[in-house]
Amino acid sequence: MNTMKQDPAENRDANGRLEQAYKSEKPRLLSRLRAAGRSLEEAEDLVHDVYAETLARLHVVPDIRNLSAWINSLFTRRLIDAWRHEKVRKASGETDVAEDTLREIIKSAGLDPLEAYVRECLVDALNDALRVLPVAQRQVVEAQVFGGLTFREIAAATGESIDTLTARKRYALRNLSRALRHWIDQ
């Protein structure tokens, strides 16, 4: 780490050079990695790691004549490290299972965690939407859905007309539908 203070103008110049190098070299570095069989996510991670490391060494950027070549050599070293790590993993017997294969195994076992998560979130959203319904609407929905009562039974218990109860349920369902549509959009 450089202990000398750097001139703010020199720092801006170094940032500008680094930004320009990033814009010009990133597509080339990404295509190199994609040609080497890396996924887009792996390629972007590696490129960002190289630029983050360069940004951490910003104090040396003004002294580098050919910043693109310097970044390219840093990138090559990182790529070699990644290949060595992969070679060690394979030598130790570790294997990569394709993500599609994992999804297929999980789904065939009936263990799709995403479905359970979505279902849990949907139940939470529905409960929240039920809580904010007007009391009269909520009571009709709860009596029918959770109590298993008919409109006639609810009317007898509350003294309300069946038409009033059906209107309340219609309004409640419209409100619940809006709330769930909002949840889906998020």
Q: What percent of the chain has pLDDT over 90?
A: 6
136: CB partners within 8 A, 6+ apart: 168
Is the separation of the CB atoms in 113 and 106 below 8 Å?
Answer: yes
Sequential DSSP letters for 75-86:
HHHHHHHHHHHH
> What band does 103 get if pLDDT is binned at 50, 70 and 90?
low
pLDDT of amino acid 66? 86
**Calpha distance 73→68 (Å, rounded):** 9
Model pTM score: 0.42
Q: In the CATH hierarchy, which fold is given to the domain comprising 107-185?
A: Arc Repressor Mutant, subunit A (1.10.10)
Name the one residue in this structure whose structure tokens are 């990033």: 22
Domain chopping of the chain, boundaries: 8-91, 107-185
Rounded to 5 degrees, φ, ψ at 37 are: 90, 15
Q: What percent of the chain has pLDDT over 70?
A: 77
CA 180 to chain centroid: 21
Give the angle subtended at the CA of 17 by the CAs of 58 and 67, to the nearest 5°: 75
